[in-house]
Structure 1
Amino acid sequence: MSSKEGSSLKIDRSVKTLRELTLEKMRDAILSAYFKPGERLVERTLCDELGVSRSIVREVLRHLETEGLVESIPHQGPVVATLDADKAAQIYEIRALLEGHAARLCAERADTALLEQLALINSQIQAAFRAGDFHGVLQQTSAFYELMFHGSGQSMAWEIVQSLNARINRLRAMTISSSGRAAEAAEEMRLLVDALQKRDAQAAHDASVAHVRRVASIAARKLAELAEESDQAAAQSGDLARAP
């Protein structure tokens, strides 16, 4: 893999440990599709691009493998994990179950200050959408759900969500860029926040589940398109290989 022109993965070491900064940089690079699904992650090249040692690169790649963002291929080494439609569907099913339940309990249990904070974070999500700041959308959305689970008292459920968070954000990065998604997401989140603030537990549950099901349908469509493009590319490659 060659270095990308006009981009830099160099690490700012001023705040966190070098390993933490490298992990964040690599995770963001995969979520933003700087590294594409199936792309080889060559240690020597990554050392040069990131400006870190090979031992740190190896640690980070192992960690990303536990998050489901990297996979090791025999005789090839680490590559960016491909997005699997069946696994994505399972992730959305888990989200619907856990987030719907958390939304219901949050409406019943959370104090007024927490609900106001959720409304504020949602306004920041929508501002990031309008600004085209998809990284900001991902960050604020994760913060919203962490707070909602906290308000619901479902700490163990949040741990389960966190274990999937890298894959959730990878899917989220794909869906939030779809045409018209900003307006749709704003309305879906408005319904959820309104239900929470009115302490309407059933409406909060329904709004949360409806939101997950909508993004699940978008992800399924996009993954099908990617699979079709991959099949076409493979077919063209085979045609070229057979050409005289």
Structure 2
Amino acid sequence: MSTPFEETLNPLVHEPAPLRNKIMNSLRKAIETGALEPGTHLVEKDLCEKLNVSRTSLREALRQLQAEGVLTDHNNRGLTVVTVTRTDADNIYRIRGVLEPLIVEQFIENAPDEEIEALKKQSERLKKAYLEGNAEEIVATKREFYDRICTGARNPIAFDLLKKLTLLTSPLRRSSVVRPERRNQSIQEIDAIVAGIAARDKAAAKAAAEAHVANAAVSAFRVAYTS
């Protein structure tokens, strides 16, 4: 006779997680680079053909992205890329204004000297991307920069959240980061963040991170909402 506990156990369905993750990463990159703009309706058949994946694997990835708030289903008409309102964007930048200084502080607390040296090298690659002015390269290199900070901070949860927040505001970021004045400003801000980290000066590093996000918001809103 089975126990109540045993009756709750069912065979597990082994999801193709590695493939699902590859599909999710491909779709995230398409959203990040603008290949999939906000409001774009996703057609499963087309995506399966382009990605050369099964519908089952694709649906697993789409469900996860929907759960993360990156995709939405309006009136059961199929999934579309989420369109972020100005209010949503303002909230995202305000959250980033708290989150990024936090991970910078945790990086200082937890990262050994060799990780600080690696961050310095990564910051040089980021500044080079800013100087060259290619939006896709800037965004990708910026992601790697914060990946290194979150890794050193020992805070993968923060990085997952940061990736989602920045992905949702991808259109704003792409338009903003290529502005010459914003690129020059960003280089100075990255230098200030790294200098604070290198000195293990939490107050200076956090202030630099806060300023970086605040100025990013100003620049993004100026491009998007000023005629």
TM-score (norm 1): 0.74
Q: What SS does the aligned partner of 2:84 have?
A: coil
Give the partner amino acid of 1:28: K
Give the total of aligned pairs: 208
The 3 A distance-change label for structure 1 pair 148 and 64 is: same
1:42 alignment counterpart: 43
The equivalences for 1:184-203 within 5 A come to 184-203=185-204
Q: Distance in 1 between matches of 2:111 and 2:126?
A: 21
What per-residue deviation string (whole Å, max 9, x for no partner) do you get for residues 159-210 of structure 1? 0441341331442444323343221211110111112112222111110100
Give the partner amino acid of 2:164: A
1:114 alignment counterpart: 115
Aligned CA-pair RMSD: 2.5
Residues 1:159 and 2:157 aligned together:
yes
Sequence identity (%) = 28
Q: What SS does the aligned partner of 1:35 have?
A: coil
1:100 alignment counterpart: 101
Structure 2's unaligned 5+ residue stretches are 1-16
The 3 A distance-change label for structure 1 pair 67 and 177 is: farther
The 3 A distance-change label for structure 1 pair 146 and 30 is: closer
What per-residue deviation string (whole Å, max 9, x for no partner) do you get for residues 91-125 of structure 1? 22222212213323434553321211111111111
1:130 alignment counterpart: 131
Q: Distance in 2 between matches of 1:83 and 1:185?
A: 24
Q: What's the offset of the Cα at 1:141?
A: 2.1
Q: What's the offset of the Cα at 1:73?
A: 0.9
The 3 A distance-change label for structure 1 pair 108 and 49 is: closer
Residues 1:65 and 2:66 aligned together:
yes
2:181 alignment counterpart: 180
Q: Is the 8 A contact 1:67 1:163 kept in 2?
A: no
Q: Distance in 1 between matches of 2:76 and 2:70?
A: 19
1:30 alignment counterpart: 31
Q: What SS does the aligned partner of 1:79 have?
A: strand
The 3 A distance-change label for structure 1 pair 175 and 211 is: same
Q: What SS does the aligned partner of 1:180 have?
A: helix
Structure 1's unaligned 5+ residue stretches are 1-15, 229-244
TM-score (norm 2): 0.79
Give the partner amino acid of 1:127: K
